Amino acid sequence: MKIFLDTGDVEAIKRAHDTGLLDGITTNPTHIAKTGRKFQDVVKEICGIVSGPVSVEAMADTAEGLVNEAQKAAQLAPNIAIKIPMTVEGLKAVPILEDKGIKCNVTMVFSSTQTFLAMKAGATFVSIVISRLDAVCNEGDILISDAVTIKRNFNFSSNVLAASLKTQNHVLSCLRAGVDIVTVPEFLFFQMYKHPLTDVGLAQFARDWESVPK
């Protein structure tokens, strides 16, 4: 399972990238707005740090507009992927862009039927936004399991991307389901390294090491 960081914070990306375990980045207009910087400047800097896919959002509301916007954004760096909305117009744009070699990340997917349509359209990534499902008492773990099943049943090539994870239980559900990619914030990325028993065990080893004759 690949790990993408969900952020526009360049310093956070550098910290995660330095671990050697980061595979890509997803951003959105909210993340970019928080930086207070120009969209192009932020995206170019991120793409210079991370060699894996960097997803940026297209905001047009027609297929033609999405294609035009995506083509311009894709010129910023070779590892750009384009976030496309889960709409009729969005899925019209997907095969056009994929045929041009521009990877599409269909986003705001909240049902199994939406998942199927996004995969059928040929999207490279299908993003199921787990935290938003949890907020309205829907069971995200069932949907990601369904998504993996749909991919397998119909031999689709899309990557199942579980987006906006907020807890280690979310990560665990994704590992069990066999999703291809998760996107996490920086705090969760580094939280995954931690366990209290690890801290206790290492502290004990450190104390015992001091008593070993040198």
Supply the residues annotated as catalytic: 83
What phi, psi does 162 have (nearest 5°)?
-90, 115
End-to-end CA distance of the chain: 43
Residues 38-54, buried b or exposed e (16+ Cβ, 10 A)?
ebeebbebbbeebebbb
For residue 129, what are its two tokens? 């936004």
The secondary structure of 33-94, three-state, reads HHHCCCHHHHHHHHHHHCCCCEEEECCCCCHHHHHHHHHHHHCCCCCEEEEEECCHHHHHHH
Chain centroid to CA 23: how far? 9
